[in-house]
Chains A and B, each alone.
Chain A
Amino acid sequence: MSRLFVARNPRVAARNLDGEMMIMSGRDSTLFTLNKTATILWQAADGTTSLDEIVEHRICTEFAVEPAEALQDAETLARELASHEILQISEQPITQAAPLPESRAGESR
């Protein structure tokens, strides 16, 4: 399986409120609330860290899951987020990831 790189789409608006990540598509104004796994994936999606590294260092350390199974689930999740244009996916590193929201007391943008 080839390595995948994921990047936050700069064309969305995102806020993390008390651990709840909400993202609005700039394309059609659809509002998404990410679950914990999707939030970790989205936050780690800097375009240069591969998906398998994200799974190994961010997801497997958070949840008691088998790495192979976790990678498969993460790829499915990443493709779903990409279908809503929240994430970008490529087999090459992506240089234009959206910056992570700034942290503020109780929330971040």
Chain B
Amino acid sequence: MPELTTEVERLSLVIEIGGMPVRVNTTDADFLILLQNRYSGFLSESDHAEVEFDVDLTNAASADPYADVQVSYGHGLWSLTRGDFRAEWEPALRSGRIRQSANPYSIDAVLRIVHTLVLARQGGFLMHSASAIRNGKAFLFAGVSGAGKTTISRLAPPDATLLTDEISYVRKQGGGYVAFGTPFTGELAKLGENVSAPIGALYLLAQGPENRIDAVAPGEAARSLLANVLFFAKDEELVQSTFYSAFEFASRVPVSRLTFVPDSRVWELIG
């Protein structure tokens, strides 16, 4: 009797960001290579994975990466959708499925969302900010697009280790906070280093006529923090968790305004 089924080879890799390994399975060798290149420096040999995704590659014709992200939860299942992908993730089973075309941007968005959801329950978050390690401490530079995240990253001296020029990864550990490098890049298009350090300070970026650091009132610190935290899910419990996490962070980490002119001397104030 002829064989009716064909064994399809399953290829996989583990992407570990912020100490959380996520296994991605695909049957497409070219897509696997694309992911290996995209997440170079963030690949892990770990057998363990906090989350495991099977990726089903679809026709790119229906992709619209500019559509709004929709993230919802029901019956134990997270549903993540944008014009260019549909994903489900079942936390209890630590597994999920992504339907997307063979591009790195869709899975990048899925990973960001999944990390925000996991971190929200652990007192951490992703934040629109550049970050770098200097003298054993991590420093975060927050601001909206155009505030200077890329500029401050580009000006970093050789003894500073860039964690990201766009999306910082903040995890609560013990009584403090730790920043991790991320592969999530901005205009600099340079992956961060996959290292971590305790956070020494958060600076709210502003460009001005001189380099200076000014104190920020606690209320403004919390408001600015919340304005820069990435959050996608319309879920009351997670909204509340993230809100309180921002206040907790602002009460434990020094938050200041860093006004700077775009030259490297600003780093004389950092670290």
Question: Which B residues fall within an 8 A CB radius of A?
Answer: 217-219, 222-223, 226-227, 231, 234, 236-237, 239-240, 243-244, 247, 251
Contacts and interface: CB of A to CB of B under 8 A. Distances in A.
B247 A33 contact: no
Nearest to A109: B244
Interface stretch (A12-20, A35-43, A62-70, A75-83): A12-20
B219 A24 contact: no
Given A29-B231, A107-B251, A24 B243 contact: yes
B47 to A, nearest CB: 37
Contacts of B243: 13, 15, 24
Given A18-B217, A22-B219, A26-B236, A31 B226 contact: yes
7 contacts: A13-B239, A31-B223, A33-B223, A107-B218, A107-B247, A107-B251, A109-B244
Which are the 4 A-B pairs with shortest beta-carbon distances? A26-B236, A13-B243, A13-B240, A20-B219
Contacts of A24: 226, 239-240, 243
Interface of A: 11-13, 15, 17-18, 20, 22, 24-29, 31, 33, 106-107, 109
Contacts of A11: 236
A15 B244 contact: yes
Given A17-B219, A31-B223, A109 B234 contact: no
B239 A15 contact: no
A106 B240 CA distance: 20
Contacts of A106: 218, 251
Contacts of B226: 24, 31
A24 B251 CA distance: 18
Contacts, number: 48
Contacts of A12: 240
A17 B240 contact: no
B239 A17 contact: no
A33 B222 CA distance: 11
A28 to B, nearest CB: 7
A28 B218 contact: no
Nearest to A18: B218
B218 A17 contact: yes
A91 B98 CA distance: 49
Given A12-B240, A24-B243, 9 more contacts: A13-B239, A20-B219, A26-B239, A28-B234, A29-B239, A31-B223, A33-B219, A106-B251, A107-B251
A11 B234 CA distance: 13
B181 to A, nearest CB: 27
A101 to B, nearest CB: 10
B243 to A, nearest CB: 4
A106 B223 CA distance: 16
Contacts of A29: 231, 234, 239
A27 B235 CA distance: 7
Nearest to A26: B236
Nearest to A20: B219
A38 to B, nearest CB: 15
A28 B232 CA distance: 10
Contact of B247 (A25, A26, A28, A109): A109
A48 to B, nearest CB: 24
